[in-house]
Amino acid sequence: MALMTVKFDLKKRVKLAQTVWFMYWFAVMAGILVFSMGLFFKIELRKRSELMDNNESHFLPNLLIFMGLVICCINALGGKICYDSLDPSKFVKWKPMLNIFLTGCMIFNALLLSTAFLCFLMRIPLQFTLAEGLRNGMRFYKDTDTPGRCYMKRTLDLMQMEFRCCGTDSFRDWFEIQWVSNRYLDFSAKEVRDRIGSNVDGQYLMDGVPFSCCNPSSPRPCIQYQMTNNTAHYSYDHYTEELNVWRRGCSEALLSYYGGMMNTIGALVILVTMLEVGVTVGLQYVHSSLSSLSNPEDPESESEGWLLEKSVKDTFTDIMAKMKMGKGAKVEEGGEAPPAAS
């Protein structure tokens, strides 16, 4: 027995085909939107690609761009099929391939839903990518004269000002690395020699942060050097004083920005998937209603449309039987003995 049977006459079939045709072209616009969101996401990632530890972070935007293009192509073809269904002489050329097309649409819808879930799950690897990339970027902050790294200072400064953050996890991350180039250090000064000799790596470490960590909203002039030295500043206690630098780490800030973007894209892709399922169901009803005309010679005759020609259980049983028959045929082909030599 067919699943979810609906009776159609000519007027209802025409209205159904027109509605599904409209939905298909609306789905084409949704595909353009998915493509645009993937392209925008890729551009945003490339802006700060120097702070990413690997190139795998571009997998998701590339996938979204690809899926957006496929959505446009599939729905443009589906719209053409629905348009031709209004003319029996044109629709006849599509009938042999419609079952294959509908099966392909179902598989694609499953892949599209997987892409949506991937948008939510990619937040976890992105967190580690950003943390490691930011640490490497901070180490190269001072290398303004090194080819291939001279841009890192500008990139980090602009990022910290734009996202109102400082360091990887907090502003104290700057205390653990040398971020001032040796070119600007006076090695004849005792303070410089003492700082370099105070650690086994021979780095010039200090309790200070770059200017881009300063919060311009603070009423007090920015204290970015000797931040843990209470005697270096008037009426200052670094244990209780609300520091006038950004407190949030850039890893958290960037993850919040990109994570929010991925959540939005994921929700959008889920909505597009629902639309794709809707147009696939609509095309199935168009196909089945035209295939079951009581009098194929009379286009005005009544017909029935269905979601599945048989029940879910029977359909699943038929699919499994066909799969077993296909495997059996392969085994028989592989088991044929070669002809004996004369």
What does the pLDDT look like over 227-240, one tens digit per residue? Answer: 888 777 877 776 66
Distance, CA of 130 to CA of 264 (rounded, Å): 20
On the CB side of 163, CA atoms within 13 Å amount to 23
Please state the rounded mean pLDDT for residues 290-318. Answer: 68
Q: pLDDT class for 333, splitting at 50, 70, 90?
A: low
Please state the rounded mean pLDDT for residues 55-77. Answer: 91
Q: Is residue 191's pLDDT more than 90? A: no
Question: What is residue 191's three-state secondary structure?
Answer: helix
Please state the rounded mean pLDDT for residues 81-87. Answer: 86
Percent residues over pLDDT 90 in the chain: 42
Longest Cα separation, the chain: 107
Among all chains, which residue has been given the structure tokens 């200072």? 153
Amino acid letter at 150? C
Question: What is residue 280's three-state secondary structure?
Answer: helix
User: What pLDDT score was predicted for residue 342?
Assistant: 45
Q: What is the DSSP letter of 84?
A: H
Distance, CA of 175 to CA of 186 (rounded, Å): 19
Among all chains, which residue has been given the structure tokens 């991937």? 118
**Residue 203 near residue 139, CB atoms below 8 Å:** no
Amino acid letter at 265? I
User: What pLDDT score was predicted for residue 223?
Assistant: 85
**Long-range contacts: 27-30, Cβ < 8 Å, 24+?**
27/71, 27/75, 27/78, 27/272, 27/275, 27/276, 27/279, 28/71, 28/72, 28/75, 28/76, 28/79, 30/71, 30/271, 30/272, 30/275
User: What pLDDT score was predicted for residue 167?
Assistant: 93
Joined tokens for residue 52: 């990413």
Amino acid letter at 220? R
Q: Is residue 321's pLDDT more than 50? A: yes
**Residue 151 near residue 234, CB atoms below 8 Å:** no
Distance, CA of 172 to CA of 320 (rounded, Å): 61
Please state the rounded mean pLDDT for residues 20-25. Answer: 93
Question: In this predicted model, which residue has the larger pLDDT, 175 or 295?
Answer: 175
Q: Is residue 340's pLDDT more than 60? A: no
| DSSP states of 197-228 | HTSTT-----S---GGGB-TT-SSPP--SSTT
Q: Is residue 34's pLDDT more than 90? A: yes
Which residues are bridge partners to 214 per DSSP?
245
Task: Kindly give the interhelix angle for 152-163 and 250-291, rounded to the nearest 10 degrees.
Answer: 80
Q: Is residue 286's pLDDT more than 80? A: yes
Sign of CA pseudo-dihedral 161, 162, 166, 168: negative
> The whole model's pTM is what?
0.81
Among all chains, which residue has been given the structure tokens 């520091």? 243
Amino acid letter at 115? T
Read off the pLDDT of residues 197-225 as tens digits, 9 standing for 90 and up.
887 788 888 889 999 999 888 888 888 88
Q: Is residue 322's pLDDT more than 60? A: no
User: What pLDDT score was predicted for residue 266?
Assistant: 95
Q: Is residue 52's pLDDT more than 90? A: no
Spatial neighbors of 336 by CB under 8 A, at least 6 apart, are none
E strand spans, the chain: 6-8, 303-305
Mean per-residue pLDDT over the chain, rounded: 84
Q: Is residue 338's pLDDT more than 60? A: no
Question: In this predicted model, which residue has the larger pLDDT, 133 or 239?
Answer: 133
Please state the rounded mean pLDDT for residues 67-93. Answer: 89
Joined tokens for residue 59: 């997998």
Spatial neighbors of 128 by CB under 8 A, at least 6 apart, are 53
User: What pLDDT score was predicted for residue 138?
Assistant: 92
**Residue 247 near residue 273, CB atoms below 8 Å:** no
Distance, CA of 211 to CA of 205 (rounded, Å): 16
Spatial neighbors of 151 by CB under 8 A, at least 6 apart, are 50
Distance, CA of 305 to CA of 284 (rounded, Å): 8
Distance, CA of 171 to CA of 245 (rounded, Å): 8
Read off the pLDDT of residues 236-280 as tens digits, 9 standing for 90 and up.
776 665 678 898 999 999 999 999 999 999 999 999 999 999 999
